[in-house]
Amino acid sequence: MFIQINHLNKQYLDKNGQPTEVLKDINLEIDKGEFVSILGPSGCGKSTLLSIVAGLTGLTSGEVLVDGRQVRKPGKDRDRGMVFQQAALFPWLNVRDNVTFPLKKEMSKKEARAQAAKYLHMVQLGNYQDHYPHELSGGMQQRVAIARALSMNPEILLMDEPFGALDEQTRSRLHHQLETIWMETKKTVLFVTHSISESIKLSDRIIVMGTRPGTILADIKVDLPRPRDAHKEDMVKIEEHIMSYLKKEIDKVISEELAYEHNS
């Protein structure tokens, strides 16, 4: 088992200093090379979970193991690369320097440039290395961010709604590219999304989360050949299956909100 999450709990203090439970008894095992989506409504704790696996956020109790070792601060382990919804590129650096920036501490300048070029070619931006972020579309910026994360050669790629801000066509192209990169590099991918169709298109497994507190409702295997677009009918079946879990969640949230309004 490559990633192992055991009885993970996470509380945050609310504005009155009261602890609120964000993640409750999360248990999850992920194999090396798996593409796993974490799917759930806004606020269910997806980003918190990913951030704990990245070592960016601490946990309240339980444990997260990667390759048998407890996760530590991200600076110490080079085994996890993060991609966020916003590319977060340095606007004053060109594409090449954005990618080599985190590499410089690890290797010579020449090696860093070679590494950057390799992954920029992989995301089909080999000809844009001298461009600046403002000269690129949102989809291209996101591809630079993916190249930057890959260039550290992490074992795990952690992606938090990386295509959430993009239009449908760009998103669809990037799905295809990410799938290709995943098959080429054999990375383990943990992919956060609130899009059901995106999760079905990309993943081997979909972890469906419910909210308040964040829990795992279902762990659904997607056993369809890739590319998935040729299997629309099977995709619809899986979508309906996922919806059956999420509908209950939506009903729960609505009734809680009604009760809250009623009591206040």
Residues at the contact surface with ligand ADP, assessed by CB under 6 A: 12, 22, 40, 42-48
Pair 157, 50: CB distance under 8 Å? no
What torsion do the CA atoms of 189, 191, 196, 200 make, to the nearest 10 degrees? -10
Nearer to ligand ADP among residue 18 and residue 169 (C-beta): 18
Q: Distance of CA 246 to CAs 168, 181, 242, 252, Å?
A: 23, 30, 6, 10
Nearer to ligand ADP among residue 98 and residue 203 (C-beta): 203
What are the percentages of helix, strand and coil residues in the chain, rounded to 5?
45, 25, 35
Give the residue nearest to Mg ion (CB).
47
Least Å from the CB of residue 125 to Mg ion? 26
| Residue 219, phi-psi category: left (phi > 0), alpha (psi -120 to 50), beta (remainder) | beta
Least Å from the CB of residue 84 to ligand ADP? 11
Least Å from the CB of residue 105 to ligand ADP? 28
Nearer to ligand ADP among residue 48 and residue 141 (C-beta): 48
# chain residues binding Mg ion, by CB under 5 A:
1
Nearer to Mg ion among residue 98 and residue 199 (C-beta): 199
x/- track of binding to Mg ion for residues 29-58 (CB under 5 A): ------------------x-----------
Longest dimension (CA), the chain: 65
Least Å from the CB of residue 191 to ligand ADP? 13
